[in-house]
Amino acid sequence: MNFSSDTSAPAHPKVLEAVLAANSGLESSYGNDRVTRCLRGQLATVFGTDDFDYWLTASGTASNALALSCFCPPTGAVLCHAGAHIAVDERGAPEFFSGGGKLHLLRGPDGKIGPAQLDEALARINHDFVHETPAHVLSLTNLTENGTAYSVAEVTDYAARAHASDLIVHLDGARLGNALVSTGASAAEMSWQAGVDVLTFGLTKTGAMGCEIILLFGKAREKKRELEARAKRSGHMPPKMRYLSAQAEAMLADGLWLDLAAQANGMARKLADGLVARGVSLAFEPQGNEVFAMLPDDQVTALRAAGAVFYPWMGGSQRFVCSWATEDTKIERFLSVLDA
């Protein structure tokens, strides 16, 4: 009954098969290998466009920070939610990679930036007022840190507002698959078609060993060379890159990533329904693979005693994360502890 994080799950067997298959013969280093080059076709299919560039890292923190650092200068700021992963959980990686840029933290319910908050922040941007740090990037997270999903309409709306203020739009998609499954949107609809310029496309939490893809869409592609230079400089250009790319290849093939996301979402739905049926209220509407439940202390204690693993969250809820590897029987056992 380990609901601590989707990063606790192992990788899907197909991911390891692909890694194994890539482990043959000599290959060019640093991303010039065949496996990495072949990804372009798969990504083009997934995103329904050829107008992109990509880079892979093994870390979501690295991918976010690299992506942001290409668009936020040291003298600039990134707008993001106060609870965003880049703000709370990355030990200052955006500040480090950007050379001392700032995050401007915005509020809003359910882990989503409020529209009024966004507008107010955009209105304050004044590149001629040298004392304050102007925003250059809007960073959204989908799935949010509260397990909720921005709809395509919301992302499109926010991106349009940001673009109107000459901001670049970044999407932290560490759990993009979960958001897509939940909203029914395609990868294209939720990214470049909605106005996303640069995407951190996470596959680690979905089922890879460690594989995140940074995608630059359209005009953002002019940062390709800078992205690679920054990747090299930060140690995110592994010599034997084929092993990263093989993971992506496996995850993208036949929509495995979406299947695994759907499976994780389904488990979370089952858990949420079970909790609600037992009178437990949820802090947020579950729209992905995470459930935030307002559990009374005695139930928390009982669940822990029964071996359940989960973390308390800000605001008094408990967070439960399901993954592709979460088993039906574990959910059932969890709920039976509650029944007891």
Q: Kindly identify the residues of this chain, within the stretch 263-292, that bind its own copies according to CB under 8 A.
A: none
Residue 34 binds its own copies, judged by CB under 8 A: no
- Phi/psi region, residue 24 (left: phi>0; alpha: psi -120 to 50; beta: rest), is beta
Residue 13 touching its own copies (CB under 8 A):
yes
7 binds its own copies (CB under 8 A): yes
Which stretch of DSSP H or E encloses residue 26? none
42 binds its own copies (CB under 8 A): no
Q: How far is the CB of 314 from its own copies (least distance, A)?
A: 10
Q: Are 108 and 139 in contact (CB under 8 A)?
A: no
Q: Which of 38, 122, 188, 209 binds its own copies (CB under 8 A)?
A: 209
The residue (of 239 and 315) whose beta carbon lies closer to its own copies is 239
- Residue selected from 83, 101, 147, 274 as contacting its own copies according to rule CB under 8 A: 101
How far is 280 from 89, CA to CA, in rounded Å? 28
Is residue 226 involved in binding its own copies (CB under 8 A)?
yes
The helix-helix angle for 256-277 and 176-183 (nearest 10°) equals: 70
Work out which of 42, 49, 156, 234 binds its own copies, going by CB under 8 A: 234
The answer to whether 102 contacts its own copies (rule: CB under 8 A) is yes
Integer Cα distance of 150 and 142 in angstroms: 6
# of chain residues touching its own copies (CB under 8 A): 74
Q: State which residue, 209 or 276, has the beta carbon closest to its own copies.
A: 209
CB atoms within 10 A of CB 198: 30
> Which one among 233, 253, 285, 328 touches its own copies, defined by CB under 8 A?
233
| Part in contact with its own copies (CB under 8 A); list of ranges 19-27, 108-116, 192-200, 248-256 | 19-27
Q: Which of 14, 16, 259, 280 binds its own copies (CB under 8 A)?
A: 16
- From candidates 36, 43, 63, 284, binder to its own copies by CB under 8 A: 63
Residue 229, SS3? Answer: helix
What are the φ and ψ backbone dihedral angles of 37, each rounded to 5 degrees? -65, -35
126 binds its own copies (CB under 8 A): no
Compute CA distances 60 → 31, 70, 85, 199, 305, whole Å.
18, 16, 10, 11, 33
Q: Give residues with Cβ within 8 angstroms of 193, minimum separation 6.
A: 152, 156
Given the complex with its own copies, which of 21 and 44 has the nearer CB atom?
A: 21
Residue 253: CB minimum distance to its own copies, A: 18
Q: Distance between CA 129 and CA 126 in Å, rounded? A: 5
131: contact with its own copies by CB under 8 A = yes
191 touches its own copies (CB under 8 A):
no
Instruction: Output the six-digit token pair for 39.
Output: 């990804």
Binding part of the chain for its own copies, among 96-104, 139-147, 255-263, 275-283 by CB under 8 A, reads 96-104
Whole-number Å distance between alpha carbons of 284 and 294? 10
What residues numbered 236-265 form the site for its own copies, per CB under 8 A?
236-240, 243
How many angstroms separate the CA atoms of 83 and 147, rounded? Answer: 12
Establish if 307 lies at the interface with its own copies (CB under 8 A).
no
